[in-house]
Amino acid sequence: MTAAPHVPVLLQETIDLLQPGPGRRYVDGTFGFGGHSAALLTAGAEVLGLDLDPAACAACANLAAAQPGLRCRRDSFRNLDRALADCGWNAVDGVLLDLGVSSLQLDDPDKGFSYRADGPLDLRFDPDRGEPAAALLAELDERRLADLLWSLGEERASRRIARALVAARAQAPVGTTFRLREVVESVLPRGAKPQPVLSRIFQALRIAVNDELGALEEALLKLPPVLAPGGRFVVIAYHSLEDRLVKRFIDRERRDCICPADVPQCVCGHARSLRILTKGALAATDEEAARNPRARSARLRAAERI
């Protein structure tokens, strides 16, 4: 790869935790533009790179042409167990999930991830699967739309915005990023800053069309079985909904018993599978956040298979 269009977040922290080296194998479940994978490969490790975005997969194929230790697959990280089996790998030394959107995706108006450029309201990582956000906005009734904006965007004005969207689509489809932006801005109080609201609305739609929380939950459950003993995973999340899922999963898997507190004797049969490596979540340093604004909201959690 030539220039780095996407600056990898918390790179040194990730590498320190994953401890790559010759003979070690990793899954990069969110290859993107390969920033993290390149560092794993440079350390002598082998990497299986997964991504849903055809452009990211093309970047992976380019890098693989020069790096024999890299394999690429266009797939969701929710299928990481199958991807590994197809590779002929039984277990790996580490898995990385650097969630969310890459800078290149944000900058591509055809993907519709950003309210800053006009383009089709798509928001899918994989343009060949599922429905674009415009279809979702056309189909959902007002209550379900409001619930979605609230639960996945934590947007307080969800009901007002849903009402406005339903009224607007009766006039003309809400099919572009700028049309959505116009409708959202039309209901904000005079003088209110639109950017945070727009970010939350776009986030909610993106999470919904890509089933991001479902994919993460499924992948988390598959991590202990695919990790070799002593193998590690790192998850970098960019909003609280994802980070909460990761935190709860690690909390559960580091316990010997997950019975409710009022049960006198353990009946759950749960066995601890993980040792936590990060006390709380790691965040970017001020210096990294200043250099790379995407790093500001990043929260990294890691654990080791026992």
Ligand X SMILES: C[S@@+](CC[C@H](N)C(=O)[O-])C[C@H]1O[C@@H](n2cnc3c(N)ncnc32)[C@H](O)[C@@H]1O
Please state the closest distance from residue 287 (CB atom) to ligand X, in A: 18
Tokens 């639109």 identify what position?
A: 194
Q: How far apart are CA 274 and CA 258, in angstroms?
A: 14
Q: Which is nearer to ligand X, 158 or 177 (CB)?
A: 177
For ligand X (CB under 6 A), the number of binding residues is 23
Binding of residue 233 to ligand X (CB under 6 A): no
CA distances from 263 to 83, 266, 273, 295 (A): 40, 7, 22, 42
Binding of residue 36 to ligand X (CB under 6 A): yes
Region near ligand X per CB under 6 A, out of 29-37, 82-90, 256-264, 275-283 = 29-37
Binding of residue 150 to ligand X (CB under 6 A): no
Q: Which strand ranges, in their side-by-side order, compose the sheet holding 25-28? A: 70-74, 46-51, 25-28, 92-98, 227-237, 299-305, 274-276
Q: How far apart are CA 265 and CA 259, in angstroms?
A: 8
Structure token digits, residue 300:
């990294």
Near ligand X in 168-227, by CB under 6 A? 215
Instruction: Pick the binder of ligand X from 48, 56, 166, 209 (CB under 6 A).
Output: 56
Helix (H) or strand (E) holding 158: helix 158-171
Buried b (16+ CB within 10 A) or exposed e, 165-190: bbebbeeeebbbbebbbebbeebbee
Binding of residue 8 to ligand X (CB under 6 A): yes
Q: Which is nearer to ligand X, 130 or 173 (CB)?
A: 130
Site track 98-127 with ligand X (rule: CB under 6 A), x = hit: x-xxx----------------------x--
| Site of interaction with ligand X (CB under 6 A) | 6, 8, 29-30, 32-36, 50-53, 56, 76-78, 98, 100-102, 125, 215
